Chains A and B, each alone.
Chain A
Amino acid sequence: MADRILKTISTRGLKNAVRGSEYKREALISYGILIIGYIVLQLGAVGGLIGRNLQGQFVPICVYVSLAVSLNLVVGISGELSLGHAGFMAVGCYSGVLMSRILLPHIGFEPAIVLVSMIFGAVLAALAGFVIGIPILGLRGDYLAIVTLAFGEIIVNLMNVIYFGFDKDGKLKFAFNHAIEDIENSDRIIAGAIGATGTKTMVTFTMGLLLCLFTVFVVLNLKNSKQGRAIMSIRDNRIAAESIGLNVRKYKLTAFVVSAALAGMAGTLYGLNFSTVAPTKFNFNTSVLILVFVVLGSVGNIWGGIIAASILTVLPEVFRQFADYRMLTYAIVLILVMIATYNPTIKARVKAVWTKINPVKKKDKDKGKDKKRKKSGKEVA
């Protein structure tokens, strides 16, 4: 089913869109994938076609899609390698969880709590992005990458030593580097290395979809705005961009901060989907995972990232049937897919080997040659 749907987007949808601008097409495909994916999955869940395992991943998929799209703003559009995206997710997650616990006794309508928490998460993550972004955006290439990695590690470390909770009178308490004393377990909100505990889970797939749509909307609009074009021109040639008077730092900072804010919102969504989240979740591995989504979906391409994030989130679960070989299979698939996507000659070679192994009948052979000729003709053209 998904096959047919995706086909529809890519053929008819594309044809219509191509008449418009590049931007329109990208937007159409991105929104299309999200909405159609949502409908298919929801229908599948209602119709009992989709197991609980996949249903349980609906929200995480949305989280990772948002994260991939927001990281694309830095990696693809701004052209900077960031290895600390999980740090912003962490800031958003913790602040969102905190806000939700504060609001919970006062507001009965859960979506409102989620919305406010998410905005709060976005603001704090943006603030973190701003603070870290100002000094470091002057750095280039791998040096910037290592600083973002350092930032991610610092955040995880700080998360290990912060404590929030309610005291007996219901007042919010904070402690740094030591546990809050005289506190009921259930009144703990964030407890150092134990992480956020006792969170009331209150997010739904629909909220996840809305966040994804919002993220895509922001990123695409930024990409297509005057600022976006400026950011991309800086990516393509920094010196040339500087020479025509673009304020490089300002533009880079804009992309960085917006990306951080969006990651913060995704973090809140994540935090409110699980009753507990431990700081180790936000370590280097998660940052790298998000980067894998972006790169696999082909850098700078929004809908590519959406698809890559969804598939790679589901893949390890699909591989459960390989039991002990699960993560090994995942690693191999990751390597092969990277090579297959990024190296066209390999694909050609595989095809050649395939025809050698499977010697086709004479009639077919001639046809095959024809095809080959046609293909090579195309490539030359």
Chain B
Amino acid sequence: MKTKFTKFMAAALAAVMAFALAACGGGGSGEGGDAVLKIGSTGPLTGPAAIYGNAVKNGGQLAVDEINAANADGIQLSWQAEDDEHDPEKAVNAYNTLMDSGMQILVGPTTSAPAVAVAEKADADRVFTLTPSASQAAVTEGHDNVYQLCFNDPNQGTAAAQYILANMKDKKVGVIYQQNDYSQGIYEKFKAEYEGAGNKIVATEAFAKDDEKDFTAQLNSMKNAGADLVFVPIYYTPAANILTQADKMGYNPTFFGVDGMDGILTAENFDAKLAEGVMLLTPFVASAEDEATQKFVKAYVDAYGEEPNQFAADAYDCVYAIYNAFKETGLDASASTEEICDAMIKVFNGGFTSSGITGEEMKWNENGEVDKTPKACVIENGVYVQK
């Protein structure tokens, strides 16, 4: 009895503490006053997908710091990134945390399923949302205030199929995709476009987990079907395993990836020889010669000690796009979230363009989809070469 009671009291005390702290968290929601435009972001900062969320967090921070340091138009930004563990439930929590601290514009969520869940809430709250990298079509669908800076999955799938049809028509194509919210959508559209043109995918294989180890069965299937081009619409972490194992098997088709493949060269101690000849459609090329990219990559490496991947670049561009659009609205940072949202929608739908390191003159349509051209690249001698 005695111990039970103490236990109960301990639990009660913990409960009080938890709620009190949670209530504290909701404290600083004072709007206006300080003329800082509060930008929030969510993404997986822990767990198996942590690499993407952290890249967005860092990329966005970099842009915000640059803009604040330049202080060109008197607009100061703040940047707060919250962890969503790549889980829609936690993403809604993260979003609510940001709302509690007075967020005015959302740059996020980083990944698709969380973005779909948050988009609905952001729509209801009238928070202007520009996601750097959540590419599922359902993210923007039905929401007038949600925009994507990345290509959406259907467009990527279609674009990849069109590129292959136009440039590598006589290759035998196989597909290895991942059963997740990102890869599956691209694969479906790729298949529709590619097979719609009267071609046949010779082999299709899948895998389920982010940290899947063995791909020999999938690769054997590709090899046996005689595929000499393997379309891999997946993230680069499993792709690194696939490339290593294909090499060990002595199987050397052309691997063709999309934006998730970008970053493969940033994996530490990665033998770039394995990626020799890998093609990818990507909006961002870390080794591009142009000044903006060089500057970004250098600043990123200086600040975080690793090469940026496409997620970081997307977030960086998002912040600049928001900043440029916000200047056009003529509002100042003390405006309400809803005012900002309406004004931003008008700007984004009104022929606004923003140039950045993932695309020149990016435009948005009313569905929130971005219009930019993907760059087809080949990895040669450890660097991207644009095709």
List A residues at the B interface (Cβ < 8 Å). 2-3, 6-7, 10, 44, 49-57, 60, 157, 160-161, 179, 181, 185-186, 191-195, 197-198, 201, 270, 274-278, 280-281, 298, 304, 307-308, 310-311, 314-318, 320-321, 324, 326-327, 337, 340-341, 344, 378
Bound state CA distance, A135 and B343, in angstroms?
A: 62
B38 to chain A, nearest CB (A): 14
Q: Tell me if B116 and A275 are in contact (CB < 8 A).
A: yes
Q: Tell me if A7 and B12 are in contact (CB < 8 A).
A: yes
Q: Tell me if B100 and A51 are in contact (CB < 8 A).
A: yes
Q: Tell me if B18 and A314 are in contact (CB < 8 A).
A: yes
Q: A2-B12, A3-B13, A341-B10 are in contact. Are A56 and B116 (CB under 8 A)?
A: no
Chain B interface secondary structure, helix, strand, loop or mixed? helix
Bound state CA distance, A278 and B19, in angstroms?
A: 29
Of all chain B residues, the one with the shortest Cβ separation from A278 is B113
Interface size of B in residues (CB-CB distance below 8 Å)? 60
Check B138 for interface membership: any CB of A closer than 8 A. Answer: yes
Q: Tell me if A276 and B5 are in contact (CB < 8 A).
A: no
Check B327 for interface membership: any CB of A closer than 8 A. Answer: no
24 A-B pairs in the complex with CB atoms less than 8 angstroms apart = A6-B16, A51-B22, A51-B97, A53-B26, A53-B96, A54-B23, A179-B184, A186-B141, A193-B178, A194-B181, A197-B138, A274-B89, A275-B117, A280-B86, A280-B180, A311-B15, A314-B22, A318-B18, A318-B21, A320-B83, A321-B25, A341-B7, A344-B3, A378-B2
Which chain A residues lie closer than 8 Å to B178 at the CB level?
A: 193
Of all chain A residues, the one with the shortest Cβ separation from B90 is A316
The total number of A-B Cβ pairs within 8 Å is 157
Bound state CA distance, A179 and B86, in angstroms?
A: 24
Which chain B residues lie closer than 8 Å to A51 at the CB level?
A: 22-23, 25-27, 29, 96-97, 100
Which chain B residues lie closer than 8 Å to A3 at the CB level?
A: 12-13, 16
Which chain B residues lie closer than 8 Å to A194 at the CB level?
A: 112-113, 136, 138, 181, 184-185
A66 to chain B, nearest CB (A): 15
Q: A50-B26, A51-B100, A274-B117 are in contact. Are A193 and B18 (CB under 8 A)?
A: no
Which chain A residues lie closer than 8 Å to B180 at the CB level?
A: 193, 278, 280
Of all chain B residues, the one with the shortest Cβ separation from A340 is B10
Which chain A residues lie closer than 8 Å to B88 at the CB level?
A: 274, 276-278, 281
Residue in B25, B94, B116, B179 whose CB lies within 8 Å of A197 = B116
Q: Tell me if A2 and B26 are in contact (CB < 8 A).
A: no
Q: Tell me if A192 and B15 are in contact (CB < 8 A).
A: no
Check B87 for interface membership: any CB of A closer than 8 A. Answer: yes
Bound state CA distance, A277 and B89, in angstroms?
A: 8
Residue in B22, B100, B120, B137 whose CB lies within 8 Å of A318 = B22
Given contacts A53-B100, A193-B181, A197-B116, 15 further A-B contacts (CB under 8 A): A3-B12, A44-B23, A49-B23, A50-B22, A50-B26, A53-B25, A53-B93, A56-B95, A179-B188, A194-B113, A276-B116, A277-B88, A304-B11, A310-B15, A344-B3
Q: A193-B180, A278-B181 are in contact. Are A327 and B46 (CB under 8 A)?
A: yes
Bound state CA distance, A320 and B13, in angstroms?
A: 20
Q: Which 7 A-B pairs have the closest CB atoms?
A: A51-B26, A6-B12, A193-B179, A276-B116, A56-B96, A52-B96, A51-B100
Check B285 for interface membership: any CB of A closer than 8 A. Answer: no
Check B304 for interface membership: any CB of A closer than 8 A. Answer: no
List B residues at the A interface (Cβ < 8 Å). 2-3, 5, 7-16, 18-19, 21-23, 25-27, 29, 45-46, 82-83, 86-90, 92-97, 99-100, 112-113, 116-117, 119-120, 136-138, 141-142, 178-181, 183-185, 188, 192, 208
Residue in B18, B95, B113, B120 whose CB lies within 8 Å of A315 = B18
B107 to chain A, nearest CB (A): 18
Which chain B residues lie closer than 8 Å to A276 at the CB level?
A: 88, 113, 116-117, 138
Residue in B5, B12, B100, B184 whose CB lies within 8 Å of A193 = B184
Bound state CA distance, A10 and B90, in angstroms?
A: 32
B209 to chain A, nearest CB (A): 9
B327 to chain A, nearest CB (A): 29
B56 to chain A, nearest CB (A): 15
Which chain A residues lie closer than 8 Å to B117 at the CB level?
A: 274-276
Bound state CA distance, A337 and B11, in angstroms?
A: 10
Of all chain B residues, the one with the shortest Cβ separation from A29 is B8
Bound state CA distance, A311 and B7, in angstroms?
A: 14
Which chain B residues lie closer than 8 Å to A179 at the CB level?
A: 184, 188
Which chain B residues lie closer than 8 Å to A341 at the CB level?
A: 7, 10
Bound state CA distance, A157 and B209, in angstroms?
A: 10
Q: A52-B100, A278-B181, A314-B18 are in contact. Are A326 and B23 (CB under 8 A)?
A: no
Of all chain B residues, the one with the shortest Cβ separation from A378 is B2
Q: Tell me if A192 and B184 are in contact (CB < 8 A).
A: yes
Bound state CA distance, A193 and B183, in angstroms?
A: 9
B374 to chain A, nearest CB (A): 21
Which chain A residues lie closer than 8 Å to B97 at the CB level?
A: 51-53, 317, 320
- Select the residue from B11, B95, B113, B116 with max chain A CB neighbours within 10 A: B11
Q: Tell me if A195 and B138 are in contact (CB < 8 A).
A: no
Of all chain B residues, the one with the shortest Cβ separation from A315 is B18
Which chain B residues lie closer than 8 Å to A344 at the CB level?
A: 3
Q: Tell me if B14 and A311 are in contact (CB < 8 A).
A: yes
Which chain A residues lie closer than 8 Å to B8 at the CB level?
A: 6, 10
Which chain A residues lie closer than 8 Å to B5 at the CB level?
A: 10
Residue in A44, A193, A321, A324 whose CB lies within 8 Å of B45 = A324
Q: Tell me if A186 and B22 are in contact (CB < 8 A).
A: no
Bound state CA distance, A326 and B85, in angstroms?
A: 11
Q: Tell me if B19 and A54 are in contact (CB < 8 A).
A: yes
Q: Tell me if A311 and B208 are in contact (CB < 8 A).
A: no
Bound state CA distance, A274 and B138, in angstroms?
A: 14
Bound state CA distance, A106 and B130, in angstroms?
A: 35
Bound state CA distance, A10 and B4, in angstroms?
A: 10
Of all chain A residues, the one with the shortest Cβ separation from B47 is A327
Bound state CA distance, A194 and B92, in angstroms?
A: 18
A362 to chain B, nearest CB (A): 28
Which chain B residues lie closer than 8 Å to A49 at the CB level?
A: 23
Bound state CA distance, A317 and B96, in angstroms?
A: 10
Residue in B94, B99, B141 whose CB lies within 8 Å of A185 = B141
B237 to chain A, nearest CB (A): 15
